[in-house]
Copies of this chain bind each other. A is one copy, B any other.
Amino acid sequence: MSTQDIAREQRAQVPVDGAASVVGTPDGARHGWSVGIDIGGTKVLGVILDPGGLVRHEVRAPTVRGVEGVVSGVVDVVTQLTAQAGVALEDLAGIGLGVPGVVAPGDGTVEHAVNLGISQRVSLGVLVAQRLGGVPLVAVENDLNMAALGAAHLSDVPVVDLAFLALGTGVAAGLLLDGRLRRGAGGAAGEIGHLTLLVDGLPCKCGQTGCLEQYASGTAIDAAWPGPHERPAPAELFDAAAAGDAAAIAVRDRFAWAVASAVRILVLTCDVRRVVIGGGVSQVGEPLLAAVQGVLAAEAQASPFLASMALAERVVLAPAGVPVGAVGAALAGRLAREGAL
């Protein structure tokens, strides 16, 4: 994807919602360039945003597990991005890192991030800042919190109140409530994948049974629609269902029901204005959205209470082909330096 394509997709920006909001407005006069890095289990994905909040360059690198591997990988990506943009490190308005793990709400210490091979407490932001030669502050947040910030920034209409619902290996959400990240007392807000969907249901590696993520994750689709596949299992499943395959329709509908349940949990608990569906499965696109909204609409038919909650209308897909988490991380980096995160 070219820089122009990315920029085109990101014209719409979110205005500031008063001082309470952490979602910044594009304001070239006030803000400099910023770098955001989404550290995943397989790849490190970095972007550099221009002062107007547009993605100008994107860099990917394979993840090297362990603290040293992660820190070196991040430093390499930051260095590449600033070189590509011709921006000096000291002129950056911020750097942010999204981490797939538990991050302490107070100081951004990573408590553990199993998929990165990090099991001890580590101040990842401090280590990266030192290695970069003493940049003032590197913001660290859970990757889904970063994605929630990114989704708000990239939204086509102003919204500062949403859940980013990630359907990937597992299921979890990032929460932006009233313009503020909801990290939770222990940094574990949004761990809805381990709520019980079906009592006495499928066993989960967490030790419970019937967990939501056994039904609403990409892993669940892989299990219920086994390969070999030429394309990702979710895409093949939804295509087969659209072509009328009865088995595929059954698997798809059960999956959509589980995702709809996740939406219901998020809205009836937090009453978020919007639920943004992201993660690997969201690459299915409109057919996924239609299936989930179909379940929600049918449930609303049966329940005046659910109808009043307008669940189907709150659900949207994360923007396709845009590194939402990395964009959010860049925003967070800037906002942290401004004391607004």
A residues at B contact (CB < 8 Å)? 161, 175, 177-178, 180, 182-192, 194-199, 206-208, 261, 264-273, 299, 302-306, 309
Contact = CB atoms under 8 A, between A and B. Distances in A.
Contacts of A265: 195, 265, 269
Nearest to A266: B269
A271 B188 contact: yes
B270 A184 contact: yes
A208 B306 contact: yes
Contacts of A189: 269-271
Nearest to A112: B308
A234 to B, nearest CB: 23
Contacts of A184: 270-272
> How many identical chains are in the complex?
2
B196 A261 contact: yes
A206 B308 CA distance: 11
A272 to B, nearest CB: 6
A270 B271 contact: no
Contact of A198 (B194, B199, B272): B199
A195 B186 CA distance: 24
Nearest to A205: B305
Nearest to A199: B198
A309 B208 contact: no
Given A178-B180, A195-B268, A185 B207 contact: no
A157 to B, nearest CB: 13
Given A192-B269, A198-B199, 17 more contacts: A178-B180, A182-B270, A184-B271, A185-B273, A186-B271, A188-B267, A189-B269, A191-B268, A191-B309, A192-B268, A194-B305, A196-B261, A197-B199, A207-B303, A207-B305, A269-B270, A270-B270
16 contacts: A178-B182, A185-B271, A185-B272, A186-B271, A186-B309, A188-B271, A189-B270, A191-B268, A192-B269, A194-B303, A194-B306, A207-B303, A207-B305, A208-B299, A208-B302, A265-B269
